[in-house]
Amino acid sequence: MAEESTYTVTGMTCGHCAQAVRDELEQVDGVTGVSVEVATGTVTVRSDQPVPAERVRAAVEEAGYEVGGQQAAV
Protein backbone atom coordinates (compact mmCIF):
# COMPACT_ATOMS: atom_id res chain seq x y z
CA MET A 1 0.00 0.00 0.00
CA ALA A 2 1.37 3.40 -0.97
CA GLU A 3 2.19 5.94 1.72
CA GLU A 4 2.37 9.72 1.35
CA SER A 5 3.69 12.25 3.87
CA THR A 6 4.10 16.00 3.57
CA TYR A 7 6.76 17.99 5.40
CA THR A 8 7.54 21.67 5.79
CA VAL A 9 11.12 22.43 4.73
CA THR A 10 12.73 25.77 5.55
CA GLY A 11 15.41 27.54 3.55
CA MET A 12 14.42 26.55 0.00
CA THR A 13 14.33 29.56 -2.33
CA CYS A 14 14.74 28.27 -5.88
CA GLY A 15 14.59 25.34 -8.28
CA HIS A 16 18.16 24.35 -7.41
CA CYS A 17 17.12 24.07 -3.75
CA ALA A 18 14.18 21.88 -4.71
CA GLN A 19 16.38 19.63 -6.86
CA ALA A 20 18.95 19.21 -4.06
CA VAL A 21 16.21 18.12 -1.63
CA ARG A 22 14.59 15.84 -4.23
CA ASP A 23 17.93 14.19 -5.08
CA GLU A 24 18.66 13.36 -1.42
CA LEU A 25 15.17 12.08 -0.65
CA GLU A 26 15.06 9.87 -3.74
CA GLN A 27 18.05 7.96 -2.30
CA VAL A 28 16.14 6.97 0.86
CA ASP A 29 15.10 3.29 0.87
CA GLY A 30 11.43 2.84 0.09
CA VAL A 31 10.88 6.31 -1.43
CA THR A 32 9.11 6.04 -4.79
CA GLY A 33 8.54 9.72 -5.52
CA VAL A 34 9.16 13.23 -4.23
CA SER A 35 7.30 16.47 -4.96
CA VAL A 36 8.80 19.79 -3.87
CA GLU A 37 6.90 23.11 -3.78
CA VAL A 38 9.38 25.94 -3.20
CA ALA A 39 6.63 28.60 -2.93
CA THR A 40 4.94 26.86 -0.01
CA GLY A 41 8.04 25.20 1.43
CA THR A 42 6.46 21.76 1.30
CA VAL A 43 7.89 18.41 0.34
CA THR A 44 5.67 15.39 -0.28
CA VAL A 45 7.30 11.99 -0.02
CA ARG A 46 5.63 8.95 -1.60
CA SER A 47 6.79 5.48 -0.63
CA ASP A 48 5.85 1.84 -0.88
CA GLN A 49 6.29 1.43 2.88
CA PRO A 50 6.38 3.79 5.88
CA VAL A 51 9.57 5.88 5.88
CA PRO A 52 10.67 7.05 9.34
CA ALA A 53 10.56 10.84 9.74
CA GLU A 54 14.16 10.69 11.01
CA ARG A 55 15.31 9.39 7.61
CA VAL A 56 13.46 12.18 5.82
CA ARG A 57 14.94 14.75 8.19
CA ALA A 58 18.46 13.37 7.70
CA ALA A 59 18.14 13.49 3.89
CA VAL A 60 16.81 17.06 3.94
CA GLU A 61 19.62 18.12 6.28
CA GLU A 62 22.16 16.43 3.98
CA ALA A 63 20.84 18.69 1.21
CA GLY A 64 21.44 21.71 3.46
CA TYR A 65 17.91 22.49 4.66
CA GLU A 66 15.75 21.88 7.73
CA VAL A 67 12.48 20.06 8.25
CA GLY A 68 10.08 22.30 10.14
CA GLY A 69 7.64 19.49 10.78
CA GLN A 70 5.45 16.80 9.28
CA GLN A 71 2.14 18.20 8.05
CA ALA A 72 0.12 15.12 7.28
CA ALA A 73 0.33 11.42 6.62
CA VAL A 74 -1.99 9.57 4.26
The pTM (predicted TM-score) of the whole model is: 0.90
In a domain, 54, yes or no: yes
Distance, in Å, from the CA atom of 32 to the CA atom of 4, rounded to the nearest integer, reads: 10
Residue 34 covered by a domain = yes
In whole angstroms, what is the distance from residue 12 CA to residue 74 CA? 24
Average pLDDT over all residues of the chain: 93
Q: Is residue 7 part of a domain?
A: no
Q: Is 1 part of a structural domain of the chain? A: no
pLDDT for the residue numbered 74: 47
Distance from CA of residue 5 to its chain's centroid? 8
The residues of the chain scoring below 70 in pLDDT are 1, 72-74
Report the pLDDT value the prediction gives residue 70, as an integer from 0 to 100.
80
Enclosing domain of residue 25: 18-39+49-65
CA 41 vs CA 1, 2, 13, 50: distances in Å = 26, 23, 9, 22
pLDDT for the residue 64: 97
Does a structural domain hold residue 27? yes
**Number of domains into which the chain is organized:** 1
Q: Is 3 part of a structural domain of the chain? A: no
